[in-house]
């Protein structure tokens, strides 16, 4: 499964994944549909969004309702931005499971991701970037608002002929979506041709780090330590972001020891290697320099956590309201099934 498109892979419940692996993936399409239908009635909106994808893919079977029924309700429950994104994800999931048979679902996924992106959904923009190659030779006109300055030359992403992929990736990254910022940074660091752009690599790696990516925070820290990034002092850059990485990994707390990255922290001081940290600059070991990193990492972490908590609150509110309307969907479903039987 293309988990990289999912904003949070945990949205697929163990029950959903069991149905996918033990029924749908081995060819038991009807059994999978029926199981996902029951999961949808219990409030799984991702299961509901999978039903139209199964219906449109396996036209050799007769299904209770057309795919448009489910599409309408997912969009009605979750709104254009989130609803289109979820439909895109589940259409893509089914398309990739069946190969050539999934071309109609693949096209649906591309269309729904684009709808989500146009509605301002950041993960939807990232998913659109990942799935827009079919439109690479078509003219692309960016939406008039918001203004997005795409600075990346085509040599960094040579298959992006019309600029659509770079547009959506830049827009999502500039708005703070960590996956887009991470990918954009990596592309600046490893262009398809020509020399890397360390300035933009640094800029977007910091955005990813400051929006919750521990991996990017460590990357920024060590690139300052190795003096490959230069927007701030080597010592400050290292401490700010290596402490931020530790806080992200440990719910805001600086730990005594982080075995995963072989970073030892003692009384708030992170020691990788004295020689590596100092490298001709003894001031890196001064208590006030380290203390500044401790303080700044807390500010960066708290700012990210505040944003993230608010986004999670809003998403939970949206899904709670949607789940409360499941009886309404079930009633409409039963009415549609009965109407079809009378034909």
The tens digit of pLDDT for each residue in 93-116 reads 999 999 889 999 999 999 999 999
Whether the upstream peptide bond of residue 66 has omega within 30° of 0, thus cis, is no
- Side by side, the strands of the sheet bearing 263-266 are 257-258, 263-266, 269-271
Residue 89 lies in a domain: yes
pLDDT at 270 over 80: no
Please report the pLDDT score of residue 341 as a whole number: 77
pLDDT at 334 over 60: yes
Q: Using an 8 Å Cβ cutoff, are 184 and 129 in contact?
A: no
What average pLDDT does this structure show over 35-62? Answer: 97
pLDDT band at 225 (very low <50, low <70, confident <90, very high): confident
Please report the pLDDT score of residue 283 as a whole number: 66
Of 102-106, 152-156, 250-254, 324-328, the one with minimum mean pLDDT is 250-254
Residue 105 lies in a domain: yes
pLDDT at 59 over 90: yes
What average pLDDT does this structure show over 24-39? Answer: 97
pLDDT at 143 over 90: yes
Tell the burial category of 264 from Cβ atoms under 10 Å away from its Cβ (0-12, 13-18, 19+). Answer: middle
Please report the pLDDT score of residue 276 as a whole number: 58
Residue 246 lies in a domain: no
DSSP output for 329-341:
HHHHHHHHHHHHH
Residue 93 lies in a domain: yes
pLDDT at 255 over 70: yes
Domain count, the chain: 1
* Relative orientation angle of helices 326-341 and 67-98, to the nearest 10 degrees: 100
Residue 8 lies in a domain: yes
Distance CA 85, CA 102 (A): 18
Q: Using an 8 Å Cβ cutoff, are 157 and 132 in contact?
A: no
pLDDT at 89 over 60: yes
What average pLDDT does this structure show over 240-252? Answer: 92
Residue 86 lies in a domain: yes
Percent of the chain at pLDDT exceeding 90: 79
Residue 41 lies in a domain: yes
Please report the pLDDT score of residue 258 as a whole number: 44
In which domain, by residue range, is 31 found?
1-129
Most confident of 8-12, 125-129, 264-268, 336-340: 125-129
Please report the pLDDT score of residue 237 as a whole number: 92
Residue 219 lies in a domain: no
Please report the pLDDT score of residue 279 as a whole number: 56
Please report the pLDDT score of residue 282 as a whole number: 56
Write down the mean pLDDT value for the chain: 91
């Amino acid at each position: 499964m293309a988990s990289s498109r999912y904003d949070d892979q945990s949205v697929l419940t163990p029950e959903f994944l069991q149905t996918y692996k033990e029924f749908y993936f081995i060819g038991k399409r009807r059994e999978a549909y029926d199981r996902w239908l029951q999961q949808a009635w219990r409030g799984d909106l991702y299961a509901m969004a999978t039903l139209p994808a199964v219906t449109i893919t396996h036209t050799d079977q007769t299904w209770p309702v057309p795919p448009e029924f489910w599409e309408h309700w997912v969009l009605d429950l979750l709104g254009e931005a989130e609803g289109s994104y979820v439909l895109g994800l589940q259409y893509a999931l089914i398309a990739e499971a069946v190969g050539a048979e999934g071309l109609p679902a693949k096209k649906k996924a591309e269309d729904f991701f684009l709808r989500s992106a146009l509605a301002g959904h950041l993960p939807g923009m990232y998913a659109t970037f990942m799935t827009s190659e079919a439109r690479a030779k078509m003219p692309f006109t960016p939406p008039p608002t918001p203004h997005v300055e795409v600075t990346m030359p085509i040599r960094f992403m040579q298959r992006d002929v019309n600029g659509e992929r770079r547009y959506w990736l830049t827009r999502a990254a500039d708005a703070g979506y960590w996956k887009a910022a991470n990918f954009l940074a990596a592309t600046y660091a490893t262009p398809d041709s020509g020399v890397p752009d360390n300035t933009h690599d640094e800029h977007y790696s910091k955005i990813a780090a400051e929006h919750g990516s521990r991996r990017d925070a460590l990357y920024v820290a060590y690139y300052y330590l190795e003096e490959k990034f230069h927007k701030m002092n080597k010592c400050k850059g290292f401490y700010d972001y290596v402490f931020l990485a530790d806080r992200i990994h440990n719910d805001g707390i600086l730990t005594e020891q982080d075995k995963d990255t072989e970073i030892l922290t003692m009384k708030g001081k992170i020691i990788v290697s004295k020689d590596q940290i100092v490298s001709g600059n003894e001031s890196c070991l001064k208590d006030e320099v380290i203390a500044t990193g401790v303080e700044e990492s807390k500010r960066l972490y708290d700012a990210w956590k505040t944003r993230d908590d608010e986004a999670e609150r809003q998403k939970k509110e949206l899904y709670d309201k949607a789940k409360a309307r499941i009886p309404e969907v079930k009633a409409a479903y039963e009415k549609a099934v009965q109407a079809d039987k009378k034909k």
